[in-house]
Amino acid sequence: MSLLSVKNLRVTFDTEAGRVEAVRGVSFNLDRERLGIVGESGSGKTMTGRSVLRLIRPPGKIEADEMTFDGIDLMKASETQMRALRGPRIAMVMQDPKYSLNPVMKIGAQLTEGLRQRDKVSKAEAYAKAVDALNAVQIRDPQRVMEAYPHELSGGMGQRVMIAMMLIPNPDLLIADEPTSALDVTVQAEVLSILDNLVKTRGMGLIFISHDLRLVARFCDRVLVMYKGKVVEELAAKDLMHAKHPYTQGLLNCLPRIGGSREPLPSLDRDASWAL
């Protein structure tokens, strides 16, 4: 049995301007592996990730034929059960450290809050665990970072803090929403190797949401390509460069390449039939 199984997931928003379908019938299975979800902004990849944790606010509605995590029916679970899952079993790294960290709380307080509140760990032990987590994401000066406020950290540091925070409870499934898009290539490589290590050593499942096709191709095992709320193509990451769907091919072609020509980059001609 797979760790997470999703069948025909739909996320809809009833707005004044009408019904918006953000996710339209997405199905996938996940074992203890790295699954990439790629697509442009507005393709529904973030909504897919958030649905797994049922983190979609009204007027948004989640419907699915099946959504089970480790034998637990996520569609039927009570809010209390969900709360017990979020964090210790399924964790999510949000996109932007600028908006996802509490701006008026020191990093140390944010990292230890869960341990202190949920696990009733002593102050000293919580501090030690938080420092370990910061070390695990290769932050050089963890004591200083513990005392810092989010605005005192660079984007890359903030992102690593968020990853550290999610790793403290040792989850079975990590949903990482654009965890490296705020980082530059060298730091990106570091953060990815940290995540990779965690998948291997802890046997964690990972859903890696990104708009960067090349990154996903290099880092994940399997890839779902989403367009306008639907999965248009599912393929092994190593085959991504030989994708069949014109949307995936178009996305790859419009990227500049080192040593490429100076001609205008090909633009993506969208076909109305892709969204059907």
Could you tell me whether strands 205-210 and 34-38 are parallel, antiparallel, or unpaired per DSSP bridges? parallel
Within 8 A by CB and 6+ apart from 188, the residues are 180, 215
Choice between 17 and 124, CB closer to another protein: 17
At residue 175, what are phi and psi to the nearest 5 degrees? Answer: -105, 115
Residue 101 C-beta: closest distance to another protein, Å: 17
Closest CA to 204 of 237, 174, 166, 248: 174
Residue 95 C-beta: closest distance to another protein, Å: 11
- Dihedral over alpha carbons 58, 64, 68, 74 (to 10 degrees): 20
Binding site for another protein (CB under 8 A): 40-41, 152, 154-156, 183-189, 211-215, 217-218, 241, 250-251, 254-260, 262, 264-268
Closest CA to 89 of 200, 209, 204, 9: 204
Half-sphere exposure of 195 (CA within 13 A, CB side): 34
Closest CA to 183 of 173, 194, 197, 170: 194
3-state secondary structure of 61: strand
CA distance 6 to 234: 14
Choice between 88 and 250, CB closer to another protein: 250
Give the type of residue at 225: V
CA distance 158 to 96: 8
Choice between 8 and 197, CB closer to another protein: 197
CA distance 107 to 219: 29
Choice between 10 and 228, CB closer to another protein: 228
Residue 258 C-beta: closest distance to another protein, Å: 5
Choice between 85 and 157, CB closer to another protein: 157
Residue 25 C-beta: closest distance to another protein, Å: 23
Residue 156 C-beta: closest distance to another protein, Å: 6
Residue 184 C-beta: closest distance to another protein, Å: 4
Choice between 46 and 188, CB closer to another protein: 188
Residue 265 C-beta: closest distance to another protein, Å: 4
Choice between 68 and 188, CB closer to another protein: 188
